[in-house]
Amino acid sequence: MPRILHFPALNSTNAYAKEHARELENGTVVCAEEQTAGRGRFNRKWFSAKGGLYFSVLLKTENTQYLPNLTQLMALCICQTVRELGVPAQLKWPNDVLVNGKKLSGILSEAVLENNRFYALVIGVGINIRQPDLGHVGQPAVSLGELHISVTARELLNALLARFNARLPKALAEGFSSFGQEYKALFPYIGQTVCITAADRQHTGTVRDISSAGTLLLNTPQGPKEFSIGDMNA
Ligand code: BTN
């Protein structure tokens, strides 16, 4: 089992994992009961009151080919883990987990650089369990407690890490294709009209597919487009 560092409070588990990347072993998990400066994607704030699960996994890997896919694998593992608890969770590309259109979990992955070269990846996960106030995270949110699911942060973390670590070696070697069928089975947007925000531009179109590399394929009035990063709104 990887080493898990538990803290009562941190500014951000991602910030801690990045700051201490050198001295922490590959696979170390940094977990905090609450965060005072939790961060989301696109410089958003991530409300991190006690009662949620907040953790970051530090991955020191030489193989950087499939890094974005590791975040997608984490999203899939979260989705599958909460589905086992009876939650009808689904995936929103690239790595959000939603229940009935409301956000249950988000992931912020960040690279640690050394001398301008990739050194490690930090995959930061927030899951709403039973915080009194979910705050505003840019879209409607939901917690496991509101769905009448009783699970502790520690139980959820252990189940999720077991699943993720079992799948990680194959994902590092083969990328999205090692779990793509499972991801697509939980991705309900194929054929739907969505808006993708990427590089400050908005692109509206119909989702054609997720490619074997995990990119989003969109049919737009201007022709087919492919996105490897972005924010999707249905
Ligand atoms: C998002 O959907 O915008 C991503 C949210 C990621 C939040 C997690 S909580 C643990 C880790 N530490 C942070 O500061 N952010 C991530």
Work out how many domains the chain is built from and give that number: 2
Tell how far the Cα of 62 is from the centroid of ligand 1, in angstroms: 24
Residue 205 shares a structural domain with residue 181: no
Alpha-carbon gap, residue 191 to 185, rounded angstroms: 14
Tens of pLDDT, residues 210-232: 999 999 999 999 999 999 999 99
Q: Is the CB of 180 under 6 A from ligand 1?
A: no
Tens of pLDDT, residues 45-93: 999 999 999 999 999 998 899 999 999 999 999 999 999 999 999 999 9
Q: Is the CB of 14 under 6 A from ligand 1?
A: yes
Q: Half-sphere exposure of residue 95, counting CA atoms within 13 Å on the CB side?
A: 26
Residue 135 shares a structural domain with residue 56: yes
Residue 214 shares a structural domain with residue 115: no
| Ligand 1 pocket, mutate which of 108, 110, 125, 128 (most atoms under 8 A from CB) | 108
Our CA angle for 124, 126, 130, nearest 5°, is 160
Residue 207 shares a structural domain with residue 91: no
Tell how far the Cα of 44 is from the centroid of ligand 1, in angstroms: 9
Classify residue 149 as exposed, middle or buried by CB count within 10 Å of its CB (0-12, 13-18, 19+).
middle
Residue 82 shares a structural domain with residue 138: yes
Q: Is the CB of 157 under 6 A from ligand 1?
A: no
Residue nearest to atom 16 of ligand 1 (CA): 124
Q: Is the CB of 31 under 6 A from ligand 1?
A: no
Residue 178 shares a structural domain with residue 202: no
Q: What is the pLDDT of residue 2?
A: 73
Only one residue has tokens 């709403």, namely 128
| Ligand 1 pocket, mutate which of 125, 229, 231, 233 (most atoms under 8 A from CB) | 125
Tens of pLDDT, residues 155-176: 999 999 999 999 999 999 999 9
Tell how far the Cα of 46 is from the centroid of ligand 1, in angstroms: 6
Tens of pLDDT, residues 14-47: 999 999 999 999 999 999 999 999 999 988 899 9
Tell how far the Cα of 222 is from the centroid of ligand 1, in angstroms: 34
Residue 128 shares a structural domain with residue 171: yes
Residue 167 shares a structural domain with residue 205: no
Residue 210 shares a structural domain with residue 103: no
The residue segments making up the domain with residue 204 are 193-233
**Which of 102, 74, 73 has its CA nearest to residue 87?**
102
Measured from the Cβ of residue 176, the count of other Cβ atoms closer than 10 Å reads 22
Alpha-carbon gap, residue 38 to 131, rounded angstroms: 14
Average pLDDT, the chain: 95
Residue 38 shares a structural domain with residue 149: yes
Residue nearest to atom 3 of ligand 1 (CA): 40
Alpha-carbon gap, residue 163 to 111, rounded angstroms: 23
Q: Is the CB of 109 under 6 A from ligand 1?
A: no
Is residue 161 within 8 Å of residue 2, measured between CB atoms? yes
Residue 63 shares a structural domain with residue 141: yes
CATH number for the domain that contains residue 197: 2.30.30.100
Only one residue has tokens 């201490």, namely 20
The angle, 0 to 180 degrees and rounded to 10, between the axes of the packed helices 153-174 and 67-84 is: 140
**Which of 35, 74, 37, 75 has its CA nearest to residue 51?**
35
Residue 33 shares a structural domain with residue 114: yes
CATH number for the domain that contains residue 78: 3.30.930.10
* Tokens representing residue 204 in the block: 């509206």
